[in-house]
């Protein structure tokens, strides 16, 4: 049986965040107004190099796992970023994390986000030995909610009318997956 490379999937290579090589990529992620609105509920405003640098430092240094993912066939084509939130030392016994993912607009809708999340699930459950993984989605992003459901996440909660976006209130959904659910897929 051939060994599975721990930092690649069918089309993607996962690697550590590099500074300054990834500076332009993180700036592009932060300056995508639609991706920014889908990934956090901070007030939408133009992002600058300092905002991108802060996010890059967070992903590189303050997460349980922080990777950028690139095309396997051409690693110079960076597709997106994925990270697991770190547990506080006095919460480590709970053995869970939250996944966050951002994909550059040119690579969206092509299955790369799904592939990266599948890789992340394997890493979280097999490598890190987590018991559960969480992911969140806002009500104005129904495509992501559908994707997460298709990948096996279950809606566990809803903060009703939690996010104000473009003149309307939207729900904030929390989805989760247990290791045994992942193993049963």
Instruction: Provide the CA 25 distance to its chain's centre, in angstroms.
Output: 15
Say whether pTM exceeds 0.85: yes
Residue written as tokens 């459901």?
A: 149
Domains and CATH numbers, the chain: 12-130 (3.40.630.30)
| Residues 45, 162: Cα–Cα separation, whole Å | 19
Q: How confident is the model at residue 171 (pLDDT cuts 50, 70, 90)?
A: very high
Q: Which of 141, 133, 117 is nearest to 175 (CA)?
A: 133
Question: Tens digit of pLDDT for each residue in 60-100?
Answer: 999 999 999 999 999 999 999 999 999 988 988 999 999 99
Helix (H) or strand (E) holding 37: helix 33-39
**Residues 107, 122 contacting (CB under 8 angstroms):** no
Find residue 134's DSSP bridge partners. 98, 176
Residue 31's φ and ψ, nearest 5 degrees, are -90, 0
The whole-number pLDDT of residue 1 equals 54
The whole-number pLDDT of residue 43 equals 84
Question: Tens digit of pLDDT for each residue in 101-152?
Answer: 999 999 999 999 999 999 999 999 999 999 999 999 999 999 999 999 999 9
The whole-number pLDDT of residue 56 equals 98
Task: Summarize the confidence of residues 29-54 as an average pLDDT.
Answer: 92
């Amino acid at each position: 049986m051939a060994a599975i490379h721990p930092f690649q999937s069918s089309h993607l290579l996962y690697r550590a965040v590099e500074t300054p090589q990834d500076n332009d990529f993180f700036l592009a992620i932060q300056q995508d107004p639609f991706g920014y609105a889908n990934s956090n509920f901070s007030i939408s405003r133009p992002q600058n190099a300092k905002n991108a640098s802060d996010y890059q430092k967070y992903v590189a240094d303050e997460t349980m796992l922080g990777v950028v993912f690139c095309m396997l066939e051409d690693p110079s084509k960076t597709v997106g970023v994925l990270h697991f939130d770190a547990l506080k030392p006095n919460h480590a016994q709970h053995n869970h994390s939250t996944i966050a993912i951002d994909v550059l607009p040119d690579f969206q809708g092509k299955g790369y986000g799904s592939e990266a999340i599948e890789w992340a699930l394997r890493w979280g459950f097999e490598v890190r030995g987590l018991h559960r993984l969480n992911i969140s989605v806002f009500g104005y992003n129904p495509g992501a909610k559908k994707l997460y459901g298709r990948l096996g996440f279950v809606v566990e909660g809803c903060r009703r009318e939690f996010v104000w976006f473009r003149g309307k209130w939207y729900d904030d959904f929390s989805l989760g997956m247990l290791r045994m659910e992942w193993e049963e897929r």
